[in-house]
Structure 1
Amino acid sequence: MLAKQWLNNARNVMSEIEETQMENIQKAAEIMADSIEKGKWVHTFGCGHATLPIEEMYPRIGGFVGFHPIVELPLTFFTNIVGQMGVDQFIFLERVEGYGREIMKGHNFDKEDTMWLFSHTGVNAVNIDIALDAKEKGMKVIVFGSAAEAKDKTTKHSCGKTLFQLADLVVDTCAPGEDASVPLKNHVDKVGPVSTMAFITAVWMTVTTVAEILADRGVKLHIHPSHNVPGDSTSKQRLADALSEYKRRIAGV
């Protein structure tokens, strides 16, 4: 049954992350915690399905203030598939050198911020632009993606390096290079990708570790609460407090 085959593949990826990436997840979390404790940001960026881990971590229930999502609409909203903002345009744009630097112009950064990038292959120009610009601004660059599988891939950026080669720290998501993991009879291409599940797994392993570090340091976290739990009379106020803290940080106060 292919459903169980995909589930087994997903479990294997999660187990491999646990077995091989805990040390780097801890290191990444410490860098992020340092930025957040100082009142700075962990900026997050990715393209295509690598925007899903960004949308997953904040704002959402159980996330907390300190993570700033940078989601460029033409690089993520391609569910039209064809026509306006379709797949063809997306594939073109993620390979355009210089686009990432233009995206960076729309935001404010500090050298004590952290840039957290997501890329399955680490070869496309827009992510590399973001990494180069972030490093020039003095930020630490952390990259999550299928690093080992991408080792022999050729960058599409004139700098000559992949995203993984530019990173200060890499967490390997352990997903297969082709992403899809389940062979289908009478077909060349497989079905059942696992990279998104791998990204989300690594994200929450990291974010919960950041929370643990900050709580141990005595730092108050502004957590996005569930506002649908019967009998919780203070959830609306806690949500308002979290959003107020987010606005305060965005304003640079």
Structure 2
Amino acid sequence: MDVIHDYLQRTQAMLTTVEQQAPAIRQAALWFSQTILAGRMVHLFGSGHSRIMVEEMWPRYGSFPGFNPIVELSLSFHNLVVGANGQRQAMFLENVPGLADRILRNYDLSEQDSALVISSSGCNVVPIEMAEIFRKHGVRVVALITRHHAEQSVSKRQDGRKLSDFADLVLDTGAPVGDAMVTVPGLDTPVAPGSTVGGAVVVNCLKAEVARLLTQAGQPPRVLSAANVVGAERAVSLFESAYDEHAHRLAKLYQQVGIPSVVSEPPARVPQQS
């Protein structure tokens, strides 16, 4: 049995699944482009390995500002595995009710915003509550799940609701139930997951379509580009301007958040001395 060929064949099938979702991907990209054109940000969230798709969207080569990657290290810091900051704690925390509210308390959300929430199972509490809170603030939510896996999984939320229940639109990675795609003779558990492959393809299809829509609208994005493609000087200019634009967009999410302060209120008129 050629397990390499088997995995590659299964990833080809996933590409077909993504291609069949082109109309939905275009719809999501339209919402995202409208957010960016309004000067706001598309919020990105995923716990566990779904963090990979968040960072695939921004910031990396071939990406551009307009996205707010919400990466909570307590939910996605895997490399220690055991001990302090270990995997057991992360898996526990992603099912703690109320944590999503504490995360989003940091941002001044707007109906002009949109969001991409990623969860392969769509059944962990924190991603579900993230989508629920976004919806309460009038933010359009796109969910990226593994549809077959999500349908056969049980929600960790007490009312049984899943991420897809709080999404305006659902996209599918195309991976199988359980994620692992290859069966090795003599091994009773499958290996080699596929949701990251399918998820990265979906994310980059979204990114490409958003870039097209922004360019069509007369606001081409500042894309992080390699020096050996655009030249050293142009590459530096793109990186610096893209990072600055990200900072300016992010400032809007903090400026009016929560309890007013002396810097969030309009400045008082100072009497002029004669």
Q: TM-score range by the shorter chain?
A: over 0.9
Q: Per the alignment, in what secondary structure is the counterpart of residue 141 of structure 2? A: strand
Report the CA distance shift for 1:94/1:231 in structure 2 as closer, same or farther (over 3 A): closer
Whole-angstrom CA distance in 1 between matches of 2:208 and 2:4: 29
Partner of 1:191: 191
Partner of 1:49: 49
Whole-angstrom CA distance in 2 between matches of 1:175 and 1:33: 27
Whole-angstrom CA distance in 1 between matches of 2:234 and 2:216: 24
Partner of 1:94: 94
Moved more, 47-56 or 243-252: 243-252
Whole-angstrom CA distance in 2 between matches of 1:82 and 1:71: 20
Give, in angstroms, the shift of residue 139 of structure 1. Answer: 0.3
Whole-angstrom CA distance in 1 between matches of 2:13 and 2:102: 39
Moved more, 213-222 or 134-143: 213-222
Letter in 2 for 1:16: T
Partner of 2:233: 233
Whole-angstrom CA distance in 1 between matches of 2:34 and 2:231: 35
Partner of 2:143: 143
Report the CA distance shift for 1:85/1:228 in structure 2 as closer, same or farther (over 3 A): farther
Q: Per the alignment, in what secondary structure is the counterpart of residue 69 of structure 2? A: strand
Letter in 2 for 1:45: F
Partner of 1:82: 82
Whole-angstrom CA distance in 2 between matches of 1:187 and 1:43: 40
Give, in angstroms, the shift of residue 35 of structure 1. Answer: 0.5
Q: Is the 8 A contact 1:53 1:199 kept in 2?
A: yes
Partner of 2:258: none
Letter in 1 for 2:58: Y
Partner of 1:171: 171
Q: Is the 8 A contact 1:43 1:70 kept in 2?
A: yes
Q: Is the 8 A contact 1:147 1:164 kept in 2?
A: no
Pick the structure with greater CA Rg.
Answer: 2
Q: Is the 8 A contact 2:75 2:90 kept in 1?
A: yes
Are 1:218 and 2:229 counterparts?
Answer: no
Whole-angstrom CA distance in 2 between matches of 1:245 and 1:81: 36
Partner of 1:22: 22
Give, in angstroms, the shift of residue 181 of structure 1. Answer: 0.5
Give, in angstroms, the shift of residue 231 of structure 1. Answer: 4.2
Are 1:205 and 2:194 counterparts?
Answer: no
Report the CA distance shift for 1:159/1:222 in structure 2 as closer, same or farther (over 3 A): farther
Give, in angstroms, the shift of residue 232 of structure 1. Answer: 3.5
User: What TM-score, normalized by structure 2, do the two folds share?
Assistant: 0.88
| Structure 1 residues without counterparts, runs of 5 or longer | none
Deviation above 6 Å: which 4+ runs of structure 1?
none
Whole-angstrom CA distance in 2 between matches of 1:205 and 1:229: 21
Q: Per the alignment, in what secondary structure is the counterpart of residue 144 of structure 2? A: strand
Partner of 1:13: 14
Whole-angstrom CA distance in 1 between matches of 2:193 and 2:160: 28
Give, in angstroms, the shift of residue 148 of structure 1. Answer: 3.9
Partner of 2:67: 67
Q: Is the 8 A contact 1:17 1:173 kept in 2?
A: yes
Q: Per the alignment, in what secondary structure is the counterpart of residue 232 of structure 2? A: coil
Give, in angstroms, the shift of residue 152 of structure 1. Answer: 4.1
User: What TM-score, normalized by structure 1, do the two folds share?
Assistant: 0.95
Moved more, 88-97 or 192-201: 88-97
Give, in angstroms, the shift of residue 159 of structure 1. Answer: 4.2
Q: Per the alignment, in what secondary structure is the counterpart of residue 147 of structure 2? A: coil
Whole-angstrom CA distance in 2 between matches of 1:158 and 1:6: 36
Partner of 2:31: 31
* Alignment deviations for residues 39-91 of structure 1 (CA, whole Å, 9 cap, x no partner): 11100000111000111111111101101100000111121111111111111
Q: Is the 8 A contact 2:97 2:126 kept in 1?
A: yes
Give, in angstroms, the shift of residue 138 of structure 1. Answer: 1.0
Give, in angstroms, the shift of residue 33 of structure 1. Answer: 0.7
Report the CA distance shift for 1:185/1:75 in structure 2 as closer, same or farther (over 3 A): same
The CA RMSD measured in Å over matched residues stands at: 1.5
Q: Is the 8 A contact 1:121 1:150 kept in 2?
A: yes
Q: Is the 8 A contact 2:149 2:179 kept in 1?
A: no
Q: Is the 8 A contact 2:41 2:66 kept in 1?
A: yes
* Alignment deviations for residues 141-198 of structure 1 (CA, whole Å, 9 cap, x no partner): 1101112442243321134310012100111111112100001222221111111001
Aligned counterparts, 1:234-253, within 5 A:
234-252=234-252
